[in-house]
Amino acid sequence: MKNVLLAPLDPVHDIGLKMIARGLEQAGHKTTLLPPDLGSEEIIEQILNSPDVDTLLLSRTLGYGVGELLARFVDLADAAGVREKVKIGIGGMAIRPELAAELGFDAGFGPGTTIEEVVCFVEGREYRPDPNRTNKNKPDLTEGYDYTYLHAGIAAKLEKISSFILDWVKDKWSPGVERARLRDELWDVERWRKREGNGDLYQHYLPLCSELPKKFYETGELHPKTRRFTREEVAGLERYLEDTKARMSVLKLQHTRKKPYVFNQYGTGCPFMDIGHILASEAWGADGVVHFDPSWGARTEGFLDGFLTHQEDGTVITPANLNRIYLGLEKSTLWQIRAHRGLNTPETVVLAGKIGADLTKINFCYGSLAAGTDPERMVVDAYHAMLYAKKYKLPFDVVTNEELAGVPAYKAFAGMLIVSDLAVRLGARPILQPLFAYSPEVMINELMEDNYIDFNAGKVYALRGIINAPIWPGAPIGFLTHTEDRVQSAMTTALHASLAASLGVDAISIASTDEAYSGGPISAPAKVDTLRAVQEGFRFLGQGTITPTDTAVRYAERITDGIEKVLEEVIKAGDIVAALHKGLLGSREEGAYPGRAGKGTVETQKES
């Protein structure tokens, strides 16, 4: 048992000390709490009068000049000879260990100090923080889901649709599919990492590429907005990583719930800056990060190579860029590389799998209706991408961001379920990604006139009533509720995150507070804004819940009915590509335009 004297060096503040005194007593120590507003000499006198005291805990709210006051206190204690037998700790809002050391205290306790930390100091034990707070493990977001259907009607329709898609797609191929096959079969990532080259991959690869990559491999000419990193920049990155990793620790945002896991996106164009952003995200608690590539990458047949920086947002996918980013990641961080929208979809999945990503993103409906890729090409490429996702054990989300163009949720969901059903039949692990957003559909139909809860909750209710599958709202949550006001933006993200937690979903994607209005690359402080806000949201909610109104159930019913009708129409069309062109999964009037990139590139394999 230790004898601890606690003294506030403030006129009134002693609440923190009272809490600590209670904690110390519970740990079996004797405590004496002195009243506030005693002078330094009076506190020293108390110590001299109590020869059994072995620890003194002081508290003070720091302001200008107080540093000197506290140093003087330590001086008095030293000169009076009490420091040899009494340990002195100081706590207060502005105290950090470095400041305590500068002032000459044996320990400093700042904001966020746990009672256990103080008990350890009093008992002379080394404080080991709760490993759950800092040692994070990578979760499998699909664990515990068996993809069984709870809605027999929708299940039956999806089976029919998958069946005709499979029948149609099975002998189709495209340059994208062929490049993925070459990357899968001819590219040995371990040899490449050992700088032993790419084998004869590029001999076969080149004819399958469009002009930009061809020029690059033939003449070394890069995309006009990209350049290679210099040797000094690479050395700088390595130094930066070494320095930062030495001090790095990760944070857990979740409070008493395990889920949802929190993802944010990076993609400044510069992989060096991305690595900095990822480290900031990890340090402030992100569980996963999402690679965002430039839009021209999706319209280009083939990848470039080398460690490249891009002067606009979107970080170019090259093996070297991905590998550098991979090497910078913390072990616990889930890494998603999006493959969903362009002419490199299957090869992106292969590359992601070989380099070490944990997740990818595939949706041929979104890719062809809202991202500019020809529907036929997109379906063929997505089919092969799913097979590779299975091979490389990469679960993928099925994004529904076509809603942002104006496609109603039930149509986007019908598309998401078609993709997911097909994926499950191929042995892959899809994750449903409804949008938590103030979407055009919501605005036009005034679905969120009263609150932002019911329609988002209705979406989750609808999906839960259809299939037992993981749900990962995105992307990002609260989209179109954000403004350029960072406080507002962080707040609305935190509220949507709390709703997601209350609904028990598996993961969420959040934006930075400047994402919608940055006019350029997003900034690290703006990422920290939303991570901190979400952490506070989770802390606020705990095991509590947000109760939607009855309207949420009505919305869910409406969405489910809508999905069933859309699926019925797709079956009538008898052809997924035709259904996409006809607007059954999102029409031109709704802002969905079937893309043209890669048109005419699908070929039917000849019988061998």
Partner 1 sequence: MTHLIDLSLGLAGTAKNTGKTTTTAAIVGELRLRGIPFYLTSIGYDGENLDNITGLPKPKLRVEPGDMIATAEKCILTSTAALKRVLSTDIATPLGKVSVVRVERPGLIETAGPNKSSEVKRLRNLLREFGPGIAIFDGALNRIAPMSETDGIVLATGAAKTPDIPRLSWETRLISHITNLPVVPAAEILRNKGFSTVALIAPDMSTCAAWPRSSLLTETDVDLIFSREIMENSYLYIPGIISEQAVNALLTHLQCYNKRLFLAFADPTKLLVSGNARIFEALSLALAEAGVFVGVLHSVPMLAVTVNPFYSEYRYETQTYRPAFVDAVRLQLAVQRQVNVPVYNIVKQGAAKLVDLIITRVGRWESPATVRF
Quote the least distance from Cβ 238 to partner 1, whole Å: 15
Give the residue with the Cβ less far from partner 1, 110 or 153.
110
**CB-based contacts of 42-45 (< 8 A; 24+ apart in sequence):** 43/5, 43/7, 43/9, 43/73, 44/76, 44/77, 44/80, 44/82
Residue 570's φ and ψ, nearest 5 degrees, are -65, -40
Q: Among residues 1, 74, 65, which one has the least CA distance to residue 43?
A: 74
Question: How far is residue 348's CA from residue 424's CA, in Å, rounded to a whole number?
Answer: 20
Q: How far is the CB of 41 from partner 1 (least distance, A)?
A: 4
Q: In the complex, what is the shortest distance from the CB of residue 51 to partner 1, in angstroms, rounded to a whole number?
A: 8
- Partners of 107 in the β-ladder: 89
Nearer to partner 1, 43 or 423 (CB): 43
Q: Which lies closer to partner 1 via its Cβ, residue 107 or residue 490?
A: 107
Q: Are 552 and 409 in contact (CB under 8 A)?
A: no
- Rounded Cα distance between 483 and 489, Å, is 6
- In the bound state with partner 1, the residue whose beta carbon lies nearer, of 45 and 449, is 45
Residue among 212, 234, 211, 209 nearest 222 (CA): 212
Q: How far apart are the first and last CA of the chain?
A: 84
- Least distance in Å: CB of 37 to partner 1? 16
CB of 89 to partner 1, least distance (A): 10
d(CA 480, CA 401) in angstroms, rounded, equals 12
Helix (H, G, I), strand (E, B) or coil at 58: strand
Residue type at 354 in one-letter notation: K
For partner 1, the closer of residues 126 and 146 by Cβ is 126
> Whose Cβ is closer to partner 1: residue 75's or residue 116's?
75
C-alpha to C-alpha distance for 548 and 500, rounded to whole angstroms? 12
Which residue, 88 or 442, is less far from partner 1 as judged by CB? 88
Pick 91 or 474: Cβ nearer partner 1: 91
Cis peptide preceding 476, ω within 30 of 0:
yes
Least distance between partner 1 and beta carbon 96 (Å): 8
User: By the criterion CB under 8 A, which residues form the site for partner 1?
Assistant: 41, 44-45, 48, 62, 64, 66-68, 71-72, 74-76, 78-81, 83-84, 94, 96-108, 246
Minimum separation from the CB atom of position 69 to partner 1 (A): 9
Per-residue three-class SS string for 173-223: ECHHHHHHHHHHHHCCHHHHHCCCCCCCHHHHHHHHCCHHHHHHHHHCCCC
With contact defined as beta carbons under 8 Å apart, do 247 and 282 qualify?
A: no
DSSP 525-568: HHHHHHHHHHHHHHHHHTT------THHHHHHHHHHHHHHHHHH
Report the distance separating Cα 433 and Cα 469, nearest Å. 10
Q: Compare residues 126 and 190 and give the one whose CB is closer to partner 1.
A: 126
Select 60 or 341, whichever has its Cβ closest to partner 1. 60
Could you tell me whether strands 507-510 and 107-109 are parallel, antiparallel, or unpaired per DSSP bridges? unpaired
C-beta of 105 vs 335, nearer to partner 1:
105
Spatial contact of 316 and 274, defined as CB atoms under 8 Å apart = no
Element (H, E) at 489: helix 486-503
Smallest separation (angstroms) from partner 1 to the CB of 79: 4
Give the number of other CB atoms < 10 A from CB of residue 28: 10
Least distance (Å) from partner 1 to the CB of residue 98? 6
Nearer to partner 1, 128 or 599 (CB): 128
Q: Which is nearer to partner 1, 47 or 556 (CB)?
A: 47
Residue 102 Cβ vs partner 1, minimum distance, rounded to whole Å: 4
Dihedral over Cα of 111, 116, 122, 126: its sign: negative
